[in-house]
Amino acid sequence: MGVPEDPWPGPQRPRPAGDSFGTSSLMLSLFLLLLVFFVVLTAMSSLDGIRTREVSNSLAATFAEPSPTQPPTTEPHPSGPPPLVTEVRDAIETAIPAVRIRMVQPGDLMEARFEADALFFPDTATLRPAQGRLLDRLVAALSLPPEGQRTLMEAVVGVDAVLPTTETTEVARVGALAREMWRRGAPPDTAVFGLEPGEARMLRMTFRTVADDRARTKASEPKAPEPIASDGPAISPPPRRH
């Protein structure tokens, strides 16, 4: 007599009904065990009054409404932006629309970044004649600062990681810009020009306003003695043009 053929061969054979119930019971037991574990931990724990007060005070300070006596710092100054910001920013944005301007210290320090080719012809140290108006407005801002203050400018051209030791386009551009600014009447003690490693072919200008104590210092100082003659020639900044 032959063995009867299995009507559910292989993986298609159904599981007994009791397997599903057993799995559910096991998962329910595990959940109940975890619940009991956390209940025991909660019962054994104790609240720290100091930390509770610190957390409550922190939440209250975070979500409290601002005091009506302290206006938000984002409101504009009632007297408007300082003359330095208005004049210099308008001059640069008008001549170089792609400039990136950042207020490092509102009203006191402003930074402008743009490609040097916007001021010079590409790959040369020749200034674009169309930017003469921009240079004139910058010279005016340096020559006529607010009363009791000085306006200082720093212009640096970006180079690769290593500063050049020979004559390059960047070095020539720095010299050309300095000579042109002095030729147009910029006071020699208000502008600094140089190179900096970083963004190659980029020109960065910073403008700051500082207190002018030179007149008061000169009035209080005694008269300087006559200079002693030396063997070498005297070096002086270029004369200021009026």
Confidence of residue 231 (pLDDT cuts 50, 70, 90): very low
* Sole residue written with tokens 């206006």: 71
Q: Can you read off the two tokens belonging to residue 96? A: 């170089």
* Sole residue written with tokens 């007060």: 53
Is 102 a residue whose pLDDT tops 80?
A: yes
- pTM for the predicted model, two decimal places: 0.54
Find, among 183, 150, 199, the residue nearest to 175 by Cα.
Answer: 183
> Number of helices and strands (H, E) in the chain?
6, 5
Q: Can you read off the two tokens belonging to residue 208? A: 């700051």
Confidence of residue 156 (pLDDT cuts 50, 70, 90): very high
Task: List the beta strands (DSSP E) in the chain.
Answer: 100-105, 109-115, 149-159, 191-197, 202-211
pLDDT tens digits, one per residue of 187-212: 878 899 999 888 888 999 999 888 87
Return the pLDDT at 160.
Answer: 82
Return the pLDDT at 82.
Answer: 59
Return the pLDDT at 41.
Answer: 80
Output Rg (C-alpha) for the chain, integer angstroms.
Answer: 37
pLDDT tens digits, one per residue of 163-180: 888 888 999 999 999 999
Find, among 103, 113, 112, the residue nearest to 82 by Cα.
Answer: 103
CB within 8 Å of 152: residues ≥ 6 apart = 142, 190, 191, 192, 207, 208, 209, 210
Angstrom CA distances, 139 to 33, 110, 130, 198, 242, stand at 81, 16, 16, 27, 12
CB within 8 Å of 241: residues ≥ 6 apart = 183, 184, 185
Is 1 a residue whose pLDDT tops 60?
A: no
What is the percent of the chain with per-residue pLDDT over 90, rounded to a whole number?
26
pLDDT tens digits, one per residue of 47-94: 556 566 666 666 666 655 554 444 433 344 444 455 666 788 899 999
Is 10 a residue whose pLDDT tops 80?
A: no
Residue, of 235 and 134, whose pLDDT is higher: 134
